[in-house]
Chain A
Amino acid sequence: MIKTASIYCRLGFRAWLGLALLGLTLPGLGLIAPQAGAEALDFEARRINLAMSQEPPDLNSITSTDAVSGLVLDHVLQGLMTYNQQRQLVGGVAERWQLRDDGATFWLRPQARWSDGRPVTAADFVFAWQQAVAPGSGSEYAFILFPIRNAQAINRGQMPVTELGVKAIDAHTLEVQLHQPCPYFLDLTAFRTYYPLRSDFYQAQQGKYGAEAANLLFNGPFMLTEWIHGASLKMQKNPHYWDRASIWLEHIDVPYITEDPNAHMNLYRDQKIAMVDGLGSDSLEGALQSRMQIKSFLDGAIFYLEFNHVPGRVTANRHLRKAIQSVLNTDDLVYKVIGSPGTHPAYTIFPRWMQGHRDLFTREYPPSRPVLDAARGRHYMELARQELGLAQLPAINLLADDSPGGQKVTQFLQTLLQQSLGLEVRVDMQIFKQRLAKMSAGDFDLVIAGWGPDYNDLLTYGDLFYSENMNNRGRYNSADYDHWVRVAQASLQPELRMQAFAAMQDLLFEDVIVVPLYERGRTYVQHPRLQGVVRRAIGGDPNFNYARIVAPLDGQP
C-alpha cells in the first residue's frame, strides 16, 4: 500500500482545510449588502413589511374567490359600500343610498377617483356587474349578484347582459332593480364581486386584466405598484383616493411569499416582517416559548359534522343523528383535541359575534345544547336500528381530507362514536380536491364541513341547509326550513327575520341537520408598534387601511 499522505507533506493539512473552506464560502464573500427597506416597520417612510403564504392567484375582482387575492383586492379597490375600522358598514364610493323593496339607488361621491385621476362613475359599476354575471367570464361568485333582477337568467345564458337590472342614470347615480326584496343588499355591495371596473381599461388589457400590476386600475386606498410573481409585491397609498386623509400608511410591502410557516416565524423573529398570521400548532408553541404576545380573533369560519340526508343512507335516520348528537362533546374536541387558543365550541350554525336585532343574535336567541349522555345515545341507536329494520347497524363512512388538522378531528370522532355508541366508522381519506368532489357528489355518510361567510348577514349561514343551496351537500330537505329561509331572504322587517333565524336554529337542533363543532379562532403575532390593524370575518382580512406605526422610543428596535 502506498503511503499517500507522505507525497503531499509540503501542502499541509491546514492549507487544505483553508482551501476547502474557501471553496465553500467563496460565493458568500463580499456579497453581504445592507438591504434598504428590509425592516419590519419603517416609521419615517410609513412602511410595513409582510409575508404572504402564496401568490395572489386571481386579481380580477369579478372572478377572484380566494383569501390571498382578497387581501390585495380589498386594499386596492372599493365598492359602493365598505366597512370602517369599527367593522360597521359605511359608504365607500357611494355617498348616499336608498334601499327599497324592489331596488336601490346609490349616489356616488363626485370626488371618488381611479388611480389615473379619472372619476369613478356609475357606468363602472354597471360594466363590472354585467361582466361578473356574463357566462363567458366563468365567475364562480356570479351567484352573489343573483338578487339583482335577471342576473341568474343572464348567467344561464338565457338573456343578454344588457338586461341586468342596473342602470347609470347619470355619471354619479346608480339605479338597481332587485329580483325580490333583499334586506342585506347594502352589505353585498361591499363584496369583491361588486367592485367597479372601468370598461375602457378592462378591454384594453385584452384578457390580461389582473395578470400583472400594470394590468390593473385602482380606486381603493392603495395601489399595487409592483408585482414580481412568486417573489414580492408592493402596495402604495393611492394619491387619488377620496378619503386619503384618513390613510396613514404609505407603503405595504410583501417581500416574501412562501407557504412555509416556519419561514414566516423566522422572518418575524429577525424583525423582517410585522406580522405572522394563522399560527399552526408548531409556530404557536415556539411563539409561546419566546414569550411573544399571541393575539386571536374569530375568523368567521364555522365547522360542523354534516350528515347525508338522502333517503336510503342510514344517516337519513333522525334517531341515528340524535345518537351522535348525544355523545359528541364539542368542548372536549375544542379544548383537548384542537387546542388552539381563540377557537370556541359551536352550538349553532350562527357565530357568536353576529348581530341580531338589538344585541348579538346568540344572546337574543341562545341555542339549545344537547344533554351529553351515552346511555341515551345508545337508546337512540337502538331506535334507529329498529326503524331501519336491521339486525345490526352497518359501518358508516366518514369522508375526510389528509390535512394534519383534519386528521386529529377525524380520529377523535372515529374513536368517540365507536366507543360510546358501538358505531363502526370507516374513514374515507382523500386529497383535498377529491374530498370536495365526493362531497358534491353526495358520496359520504358523514363529513366534517366548514363554512366562511360571504356577507354580513345571518342568512349567509342560515341558507346553507336550504333545499336548493348547492352548498347543502347533505341534501337536507325540509319544507319547514325552506319556509324560514324564504322569510329571511325577502322580509325587510328585522324582528321577523330574527324569528326566522331562531326557527332555523331550533330545527337545526331538533332535527339534527348537522352537529355544530367549532368556530375557528385565528391566532397571530403582530409587531407591538404596529396598531390599527383590523381583523374581521367579513370585508377582507387582515385590513391595514387604518394601520399606523407608533413612533419608536429611544433604544427600542
Chain B
Amino acid sequence: MLVFILKRLLSGVITIWFIASATFLAMHAVPGDPLANPKAVSEEIRQNLASRYGLDQPLPKQYLVFMGNLLQGDFGISFTQKNRRVNDIIREHFPVSALLGVLALVIATAGGILWGALTAIYRDKWPDSLIMLLVVISISVPSFVFALLGQLAILKLNSWLGFSLLPVAGWGSLAHMWMPALVLGLGTMAYLTRLMRSSMLEVAAADYLRTARAKGLPGRRIFFRHQLRNAILPVVTVLGPAIAAITTGGFVVELVFAIPGLGRYFVQAVQQLDYTVIMGTTVFYGAFLVFMVLAVDILYGVIDPRIRLVGAGGE
C-alpha cells in the first residue's frame, strides 16, 4: 500500500511539473502583451514595468526563476491585482470554491443515488421516463442556462412572496449557497442518476439477490443491504474526477451568483494574460486533480476488499 502511494505520488509530481512547463510555454506562445493597456505608455515607463515583473529577462531565465519560486511554493505577485500575492488569491478564494463544490457534490450524490434508485425501481414506468427525461435535459443544457434560470426563479419567488426568501446573488451565509450549489451539482447529479440506474439494474439480475429473495429476506432489507450497497460502487469511482470538475468548473456559477471563488480568477487571468495568476491557478488545480484521483483510488480499495492495488506487493 505504501509503495503504491509513493509511486503514485512520484508520478503525480512529474505530472504537475509537466503541467507547469506546458502551461508556461503555451502562455508565452499566446499572442498579446500582458502589460498592454488601452492607453499607451512611453518606452521608459514600459521598461520600468517590465523589470518590475521580470519580463525583461530572456524566456529560459524566466522559466528557471518561476520553477525556483515554485519549489519554494511561491507563485509571485499578480499582474492585474496589484500588490496581491498569487498565494493569497488561492488561499482566500479556493476555500469558497471548495465549499460550494462540496455542497454541490453532496446534493449531486444524494440526488443521484436517490433518483437513480427510483428509476430502477420504477423501471419502464412513468416515473422512470420522467426522471430520465430530466436527466437528459440536465446533462445537455449548459450550466449558465440553469444558473440564469435559477436566479430568475429566486427573483420571481421573492417578488411573489413580497420579501426576500433567498438572496438573488452574493456570498456570506448558507442561504446564499444553496441555489448555486444545486445548479453546479445538477450536471453531476444527472450523470450519477444514470450511472446509478444502470448499476442498480445490473445488480438486480445478480445471483446473490435471487439467493436473498429465495431465503425469504424482506424486500426492504434486500434493497438496502444487498442491492443499493453494491450498486453504489461505480458511483464512488467517478466521485474523484467529479469533485475536481465541480470545484474547478464553477466559473459560470460564480459569475452569475457573484461568488468570490477561484474559478473567476482563473478565467479572468487567462483573458487578461495575467501570467503569474495563470501559472499559480493552473499548477494548483493540476495538483488538486492529481491528489483527488489518488485519494479515490485509495478509498476504492477500502470500500471494496476485492480490489487490490497494483504495486501493493504480493499477497
Interface residues of A, Cβ cutoff 8 Å to B: 2, 4-11, 13, 16-17, 19-20, 23-24, 26-28, 31-35, 38, 51, 54-55, 57-58, 60, 63-65, 135-140, 142-143, 155-157, 207-211, 228-232, 255-260, 262-263, 266-267, 269-270, 272, 430-434, 436-437, 440, 450, 469-471, 473
For B167, list chain A residues within 8 Å (CB). 35, 38, 272
For A434, list chain B residues within 8 Å (CB). 31-33
A484–B213 alpha-carbon span in the complex (Å): 99
Partner of A24, one of B107, B218, B261: B107
Knowing A32-B166, A33-B175, A63-B82, say if A473 contacts B223 (CB, 8 Å): no
Closest 7 CB pairs of A and B: A230-B260, A470-B40, A433-B32, A58-B82, A258-B258, A231-B260, A436-B36
For A63, list chain B residues within 8 Å (CB). 82
For A263, list chain B residues within 8 Å (CB). 151, 168-169, 255-258
A230–B44 alpha-carbon span in the complex (Å): 33
- Does B28 touch A at the CB level, under 8 Å? no
Q: Are the CB atoms of A255 and B170 closer together than 8 Å?
A: yes
Q: Are the CB atoms of B121 and A256 closer together than 8 Å?
A: no
Q: Are the CB atoms of B42 and A143 closer together than 8 Å?
A: yes
A208–B171 alpha-carbon span in the complex (Å): 26
Q: Are the CB atoms of A210 and B219 closer together than 8 Å?
A: no
Q: Are the CB atoms of B93 and A230 closer together than 8 Å?
A: yes
A431–B258 alpha-carbon span in the complex (Å): 25
Q: Are the CB atoms of B169 and A24 closer together than 8 Å?
A: no
Q: Are the CB atoms of B125 and A267 closer together than 8 Å?
A: no
A209–B82 alpha-carbon span in the complex (Å): 10
Considering only CB atoms, which chain A residue lies closest to B252 in the complex?
Answer: A260
Q: Are the CB atoms of B110 and A23 closer together than 8 Å?
A: yes
- A71: min CB distance to chain B, Å: 16
For A143, list chain B residues within 8 Å (CB). 41-42, 45
Knowing A60-B82, A230-B93, A270-B164, say if A20 contacts B44 (CB, 8 Å): no
Q: Are the CB atoms of A4 and B123 closer together than 8 Å?
A: yes
Which stretch from B61-69, B152-160, B229-237, B303-311 is at the chain A interface? Answer: B152-160
- Does B273 touch A at the CB level, under 8 Å? yes
Q: Are the CB atoms of A135 and B107 closer together than 8 Å?
A: no
Interface residues of B in 107-144 (CB under 8 A from A): 107, 110-111, 114-115, 117-118, 120-123, 125, 127
A277–B258 alpha-carbon span in the complex (Å): 16
Q: Are the CB atoms of B40 and A28 closer together than 8 Å?
A: no
For B177, list chain A residues within 8 Å (CB). 27
Partner of B38, one of A33, A270, A450: A450
For A57, list chain B residues within 8 Å (CB). 80-82
Q: Are the CB atoms of B41 and A4 closer together than 8 Å?
A: no
A259–B209 alpha-carbon span in the complex (Å): 54
- Does B225 touch A at the CB level, under 8 Å? no
Q: Are the CB atoms of B173 and A440 closer together than 8 Å?
A: no
- Does B106 touch A at the CB level, under 8 Å? yes
For A23, list chain B residues within 8 Å (CB). 107, 110-111, 114
A208–B178 alpha-carbon span in the complex (Å): 36
Partner of B174, one of A31, A450, A469: A31
A269–B155 alpha-carbon span in the complex (Å): 8
- Does B7 touch A at the CB level, under 8 Å? no
For A142, list chain B residues within 8 Å (CB). 45
Knowing A27-B177, A263-B257, say if A270 contacts B41 (CB, 8 Å): no
Q: Are the CB atoms of A27 and B174 closer together than 8 Å?
A: yes
A436–B15 alpha-carbon span in the complex (Å): 35
Q: Are the CB atoms of B175 and A2 closer together than 8 Å?
A: no
For A19, list chain B residues within 8 Å (CB). 114
A433-B33, A436-B32 given; name 15 further pairs at CB < 8 Å: A27-B177, A27-B181, A31-B178, A32-B175, A35-B175, A57-B80, A138-B45, A140-B45, A140-B49, A229-B84, A229-B92, A231-B171, A258-B254, A269-B155, A431-B32
A207–B117 alpha-carbon span in the complex (Å): 58
Enumerate 26 A-B pairs (CB-CB under 8 Å) in ascending A order.
A2-B209, A4-B121, A8-B121, A10-B219, A11-B220, A24-B182, A64-B82, A136-B52, A138-B45, A142-B45, A155-B45, A209-B83, A229-B89, A229-B93, A231-B172, A256-B169, A256-B258, A258-B254, A260-B256, A267-B169, A270-B154, A270-B158, A433-B272, A434-B33, A436-B36, A471-B40
A223–B213 alpha-carbon span in the complex (Å): 73
- Does B222 touch A at the CB level, under 8 Å? yes
For B89, list chain A residues within 8 Å (CB). 229
For B123, list chain A residues within 8 Å (CB). 4-5
For A232, list chain B residues within 8 Å (CB). 170-172
- B206: min CB distance to chain A, Å: 10
For B312, list chain A residues within 8 Å (CB). none
Interface residues of B in 157-213 (CB under 8 A from A): 158-159, 164-175, 177-178, 181-182, 201, 204-205, 209-210, 213
A232–B169 alpha-carbon span in the complex (Å): 12
For A208, list chain B residues within 8 Å (CB). 83
Knowing A27-B181, A140-B49, A433-B32, say if A20 contacts B111 (CB, 8 Å): yes
Considering only CB atoms, which chain B residue lies closest to A65 in the complex?
Answer: B37
For B48, list chain A residues within 8 Å (CB). 135-139, 155
Q: Are the CB atoms of B125 and A5 closer together than 8 Å?
A: yes
A469–B181 alpha-carbon span in the complex (Å): 51
Q: Are the CB atoms of B92 and A139 closer together than 8 Å?
A: no
A259–B305 alpha-carbon span in the complex (Å): 49
Interface residues of B in 39-82 (CB under 8 A from A): 39-42, 44-45, 48-49, 52, 80-82
Q: Are the CB atoms of B273 and A433 closer together than 8 Å?
A: yes
- A159: min CB distance to chain B, Å: 13
Knowing A24-B107, A27-B106, A270-B168, say if A13 contacts B127 (CB, 8 Å): yes
- Does B3 touch A at the CB level, under 8 Å? no
Considering only CB atoms, which chain A residue lies closest to B163 in the complex?
Answer: A34
Partner of A437, one of B32, B165, B271: B32
Interface residues of B in 234-255 (CB under 8 A from A): 254-255
- Does B279 touch A at the CB level, under 8 Å? no
Q: Are the CB atoms of A7 and B222 closer together than 8 Å?
A: yes
For A269, list chain B residues within 8 Å (CB). 155, 159
Knowing A57-B82, A431-B32, say if A35 contacts B256 (CB, 8 Å): no
For B222, list chain A residues within 8 Å (CB). 7
- B8: min CB distance to chain A, Å: 33
Q: Are the CB atoms of A20 and B115 closer together than 8 Å?
A: yes
Q: Are the CB atoms of B83 and A58 closer together than 8 Å?
A: yes
Q: Are the CB atoms of B181 and A266 closer together than 8 Å?
A: no
For A33, list chain B residues within 8 Å (CB). 173, 175
